[in-house]
Structure 1
Amino acid sequence: IEESWSESLVRFFQPFLPILMLIGIGAIYTEIKAPGFGLPGIIGIICLGLVFFGQYLVGLADYTELLLLLVGVLLLGVEVFVLPGFGVAGITGLIVIAVGLVLSFQGFVVPDPSFPWEGALLMKNLAQVLGSFMLAFLISLFMIRFVLPHLSKIINGPYLEATLSNSHVDVTIGLGLKPGDKGIAHSFLRPSGKIIINNKKIDAITQGEFIDQGTLVMIDKIEQNRVIVKPKIS
């Protein structure tokens, strides 16, 4: 019997599903920590979409799991664009995506006690998804802390480059900003986020450290329209 295209695609996808899941979760977590819907967010959605697509081809994932993925991504979008700082919307979005991933690896929702193998499969899927989340978080924290600050000097991106909101003029000209000016963190900076300075909300980035919302900050330097800040030491 000749193998169909869908069977060939499934056979190709299966070995890569754990890796795609790990990359997808890590990329989305990185996007939340460095808000601005840049490359990590796009990569994360594509990778998780491929995971669900692969499971759909084998008949495990259905519209329910796809809906959970879309709801999770929507909540993460709210976290990035509306309520930056990794709060309720972000955590809920990740939980919804995790539930969708678990369900996409099995053909049932609640295990039937008369079929012990369903309970065992559920525990296996939970361990696989939660393990991927934990490993992805650790990798993302490393990337955010040690890699992104250095990449920001080379790669211009919406989540790395600090520019005036809805403007392309030089910040030093547009607002008269200069090193030493003081403001307050309007959102969490991990390492990028928003600050309020001179009664204006602008994007800013740290040199790698995390700054909590409401913390007093000071402009350390301005490089090519990027406002680099650090905590103000009183």
Structure 2
Amino acid sequence: PRQARGDAALVALACDELVMGPQAVLGGEGAAAIGGRQADALVVAWRQAVGQRDARPWSLPLALVLPGFQVNRMVQQTTGRVEYFSEKELQARADRADWQLEAVLAPGPLAVTAAEAERYGLTGTSVESFRALAERYGLSGDVAVVEPGWADQLLDALASPRLAWLLLLIGGAGLYIELNTPGLGFGGFIAMVAFIVYFWSQYLHGTSGWLEVMLFVAGLVCLAAEIFVVPGMGVLGLGGGLLVIASLVLASQSFVLPANDYQVRQLQWSLLGILGAGVGVGVFAAAVRQWLPSTPVLRHVLLAPPESETAGIEDPVEGLVGTTGVTTTRLAPAGKAEVDGQLRDVWSEGMLIEPGTAVRVVAVRAGRVMVLPQPPQEPA
């Protein structure tokens, strides 16, 4: 890894020797904000686990992790040795009178490069490559290296913003296809797989749980209710959309509200990914409405866009009441039917109607064509 931010820096600094690459970063703000009693417990644990065991100063490593932790650069007057102490560590030393303040470092959490870590005495040196590391320590032959396998690399790739937005784009495009081709199920299946992979990768990455999944499902239920059950109100649609967006954002991060600059940047990436996926779905929808209705397979289930702005005026839907037609897709309760010789978007009044069923237009409400099954004709 190229970075060990936040409390991950203490894992690296707990080693007897630490070697960094030239582009590596140690410490600084991380995905988890540390403060309050958690910070106090971390100070006690670090002092007991590392400071007392190795008899080395314990303040500087904590300054890389804890917000507001203050460390000073001190010089020993008798030897000229330089160390970095907090005020608490300095007062606990028996030779505290021999140390003189030289500089005050910026409050934590500090982020240091390889050169700065070497200057602070946190690392012995930096190396350009693993080969240089092996030569420095005299390693020969096959050296067992602990590194991520292909499954870990795939997981990191799927959970990264670079690919996560693509999964959202595929899921959104699948939902759009399913809504415009009811009864086929192909788009719904693609959307289901894409969203499952998205939440699964974020779950294994440690940022998603059941809360995000339940928020997402609840949002979809609200959107479906707005479209099929109580259209026109807008409350369920707006609330469902917000729930879906919140679930996708929370699934990609380990916090709810950002508490430091690192988390703010992570939130920006999450929102940018969702925005990019939304724009992509919009472009896909425009392309589908333009090209797919002319394809032989889907022209009977997709409604082609009107050829001119006067098409709706020449054939007003208000005059369709009483006409009959045949459903071309399943009405659940929305779908498509061939009415008066044209393919139209129609709605049933809360019932499921199978394809190929004869229907009659019973009402037109807010531009929506409402149909009911045509009763079978009695024999004369």
Normalised-by-shorter TM-score class? 0.5 to 0.7
Equivalenced residues, count: 185
Equivalent residue for 1:139?
Answer: 284
* 8 Å Cα contact 1:28/1:41 also seen in 2: yes
Question: Which of 143, 150, 154 lines up with 2:294 in the alignment?
Answer: 150
1:102 alignment counterpart: 249
- Structure 2 gap ranges (5+): 1-145, 304-326, 350-358, 370-380
Q: Does structure 1 retain, via aligned residues, the 8 Å contact 2:199–2:251?
A: yes
TM-score, scaled to structure 1: 0.61
The residue type equivalent to 1:162 in the other structure is T
Q: 1:43 to 1:156 in 2, by over 3 A?
A: farther
1:179 to 341, 347, 354: 341
CA contact (8 A) 1:25 1:48 kept: no
Which residue pairs with 2:229 in the alignment?
A: 82
Contact 1:27 1:140 in 2 (8 A): no
CA contact under 8 A between 1:35 and 1:84: conserved in structure 2? no
The TM-score normalised by the length of structure 2 is: 0.40
Q: Is the 8 A contact 2:292 2:302 kept in 1?
A: no
Any idea what the Cα deviations from partners look like across 1:123-160, whole Å, max 9, x if unmatched?
221122122112212221321x2133224x41499777
1:194 counterpart letter in structure 2: W
- Show structure 1 runs of 5+ residues with no match: 181-188, 202-211, 218-234
Shift of 1:88: 4.3
Q: Distance in 1 between matches of 2:242 and 2:345?
A: 24
In structure 2, how many angstroms separate the alpha carbons of the residues matched to 1:86 and 1:36?
A: 23
Q: Distance in 2 between matches of 1:88 and 1:214?
A: 18
For the pair 1:122 / 2:283, whether they are aligned, the reply is no
Deviations 1:53-74 (A, max 9, x none): 1111110111111111211222
Inter-CA distance 49–165: structure 2 relative to 1 (3 Å threshold): closer
Q: 2:192 aligns with which of 42, 45, 53?
A: 45
Q: CA deviation at 1:110?
A: 0.7
In structure 2, C-alpha distance between the alignment counterparts of 1:121 and 1:164, rounded to whole Å: 43
- Ranked by relative contact order (alpha carbons within 8 Å, sequence separation 6 or more), the top structure is 1
Work out whether residues 56 and 62 of structure 1, in 8 Å CA contact, stay in contact via their aligned partners in 2: yes
Flag the 1:178–1:102 CA change in 2: closer, same or farther, 3 A.
closer
Aligned to 1:227: none
Secondary structure of the structure 2 residue equivalent to 1:109: coil
Deviation for aligned residue 1:78? 2.5
For 1:135, the aligned partner's letter is G
In structure 2, the partner of 1:69 is: 216
**Fraction of identical pairs, as percent:** 26
- Secondary structure of the 2:366 match is coil
Larger mean Cα displacement after TM superposition, 10-19 or 115-124: 10-19
Equivalent residues of 2:171, 2:190 under 8 A apart: yes
2:206 corresponds to which of 59, 66, 70: 59
The residue number in structure 2 matching 1:206 is none
Answer 1 or 2: which has greater helix percent. Answer: 1
Deviation at 1:24, TM superposition (A): 1.0
Say if 1:71 and 1:128 are closer, same or farther in 2 by CA, change over 3 A. Answer: same
Rounded Cα–Cα distance in structure 1 between residues aligned with 2:233 and 2:172: 14
Note the aligned Cα RMSD (angstroms): 3.9
How many Å separate the matches in 2 of 1:7 and 1:56? 13
Give the match for residue 10 of structure 1: 155
Alignment of 1:197-212 (within 5 A): 198-200=360-362
Question: Which deviates the most, 19-28 or 58-67?
Answer: 19-28
